[in-house]
């Protein structure tokens, strides 16, 4: 059985360290699931490409076709990876808008790996004080290992170890528990869409529109 993992990436720069961390986590999940004799399909949602549509959705309640498609990928997933840059000591605005516009039942019980990036390690608690409470409010099953990466962490043995451990946690949950899509997604008995990994548009550089960011995001 092929498991589906949606990667919600809120990186905003052209060379996004947040996207890089999300890809590393997705690769770790893929490797760990494959080692257990199963397959995984990775679908990417690059939230920056939806920024204008999300602002419209928040202010008017009208969801564009692109936002609905992104929400469907998340609702249909057996597991999630969510990654955001740190802005003003918390998750980015577009990251929050994506979850503000998501059906609150879509990720109930779904295992989620939380990740964040920043320019310095002083923001390393952002996962526990900001991201984890948001996902808990949506009744997601937030996995124990959160993955934070400062700029200097990339390429380090320590970060590679945390990525591997986090990927193994999600893989174990996917293979051991089976498909656990949220109330807004399919059940194990429901047919799943097939196809290769989906990337909903390029990561657009909105950094010039945002203030207070820390490091490359």
φ, ψ of residue 201 to 5 degrees: the values are: 90, 165
Residue whose C-alpha is closest to residue 47's, from 106, 126, 102, 110 = 102
User: How many whole angstroms separate alpha carbon 18 and alpha carbon 214?
Assistant: 12
Pairing of strands 39-46, 2-9: parallel
Other C-beta atoms lying within 10 Å of the C-beta of residue 165 = 15
Which pLDDT does position 13 carry in this prediction?
82
The string of pLDDT tens digits covering residues 102-118 is 999 999 999 999 999 99
Residue 7 has pLDDT above 50, yes or no: yes
Which pLDDT does position 27 carry in this prediction?
98
Given pLDDT bands bounded at 50, 70 and 90, which one contains residue 61? very high
User: How many whole angstroms separate alpha carbon 102 and alpha carbon 31?
Assistant: 29
Given pLDDT bands bounded at 50, 70 and 90, which one contains residue 17? very high
Which pLDDT does position 212 carry in this prediction?
40
Residue whose C-alpha is closest to residue 80's, from 111, 49, 58 = 111
Q: What's the mean pLDDT in 152-165?
A: 96
User: How many whole angstroms separate alpha carbon 32 and alpha carbon 20?
Assistant: 18
Q: What's the mean pLDDT in 186-210?
A: 37
Residue whose C-alpha is closest to residue 143's, from 32, 11, 15, 10 = 32
Which pLDDT does position 1 carry in this prediction?
83
Residue whose C-alpha is closest to residue 73's, from 54, 36, 98 = 98
Which pLDDT does position 66 carry in this prediction?
98
To the nearest whole percent, how much of the chain has pLDDT over 90? 79
Tokens of 44: 């990417």
Given pLDDT bands bounded at 50, 70 and 90, which one contains residue 180? very low
To the nearest whole percent, how much of the chain has pLDDT over 70? 81
Which pLDDT does position 217 carry in this prediction?
57
User: How many whole angstroms separate alpha carbon 34 and alpha carbon 30?
Assistant: 6
Pairing of strands 90-91, 79-87: antiparallel
Pairing of strands 141-142, 111-118: parallel
Tokens of 214: 């820390």
Given pLDDT bands bounded at 50, 70 and 90, which one contains residue 177? low
Residue whose C-alpha is closest to residue 135's, from 172, 96, 167 = 96
User: How many whole angstroms separate alpha carbon 77 and alpha carbon 144?
Assistant: 19
What HEC string does 163-181 produce? HHHHHHHHHHHHHHHCCCC
């Amino acid at each position: 059985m092929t498991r589906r993992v949606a990667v919600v990436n809120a990186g905003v720069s052209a060379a996004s360290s947040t996207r890089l961390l999300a890809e590393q986590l997705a690769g770790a999940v893929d490797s760990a699931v494959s080692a257990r004799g199963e397959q995984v399909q990775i679908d990417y949602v690059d939230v920056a490409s939806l920024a204008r549509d999300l602002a419209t959705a928040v202010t008017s309640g009208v969801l564009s076709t692109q936002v609905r498609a992104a929400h469907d990928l998340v609702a249909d997933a057996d597991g999630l990876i969510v990654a955001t840059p740190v802005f003003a000591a918390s998750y980015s605005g577009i990251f929050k808008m994506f979850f503000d516009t998501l059906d609150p039942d879509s990720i109930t019980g779904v295992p989620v790996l939380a990740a964040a990036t920043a320019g310095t390690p002083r923001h390393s608690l952002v996962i526990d004080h900001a991201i984890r409470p948001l996902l808990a409010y949506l009744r997601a099953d937030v996995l124990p290992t959160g993955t934070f990466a400062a700029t200097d962490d990339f390429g380090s043995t320590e970060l590679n170890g945390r990525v591997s451990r986090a990927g193994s946690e999600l893989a174990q949950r996917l293979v051991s528990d089976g498909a656990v899509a949220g109330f807004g997604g399919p059940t194990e008995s429901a047919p799943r869409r097939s196809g290769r990994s989906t990337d909903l548009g390029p990561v657009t550089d909105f950094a010039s529109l945002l203030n207070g960011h820390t490091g490359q995001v």
